[in-house]
């Protein structure tokens, strides 16, 4: 398989994962960390790091909004359990 196809498939899988996490707001980040060793915030950090490796400056809060589908403070207010 070509590198372009590999990248496109990886990107599609990533978008599907992000979409899945947005749909399943009942799954808390702490649950993800305990079960899988990563959470939505980890994805945000990895995305930002990948951008920086390409010389692209992104604000962490901007990236979290991309992952959460809304500002983190809003997601936290709506979905994070006390």
Residue 8: give its domain's CATH number. 1.10.3340.10
Q: What's the confidence (pLDDT) of residue 51? A: 97
pLDDT for the residue numbered 82 = 81
What's the pLDDT score for residue 26? 96
Find out whether 21 and 27 touch, Cβ atoms under 8 Å: yes
Structural domain including 69 reads 3-79
Q: For the chain, which residues score pLDDT lower than 70?
A: none
What pLDDT score was predicted for residue 14? Answer: 97
**pLDDT given at position 34:** 97
DSSP string, 55-81: T----HHHHHHHHHSS-HHHHHHHH--
Domain count, the chain: 1
Q: What pTM was computed for the model?
A: 0.90
């Amino acid at each position: 398989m070509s590198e372009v196809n590999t990248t496109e498939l990886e990107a599609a899988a990533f978008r599907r994962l992000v979409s899945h996490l947005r749909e399943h707001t009942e799954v808390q980040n702490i649950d993800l960390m305990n079960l899988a060793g990563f959470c939505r915030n980890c994805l945000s950090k990895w995305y930002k790091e990948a951008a920086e490796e390409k010389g692209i400056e992104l604000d962490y809060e901007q990236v979290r909004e991309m992952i959460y589908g809304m500002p983190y403070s809003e997601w936290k207010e709506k979905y994070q359990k006390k």
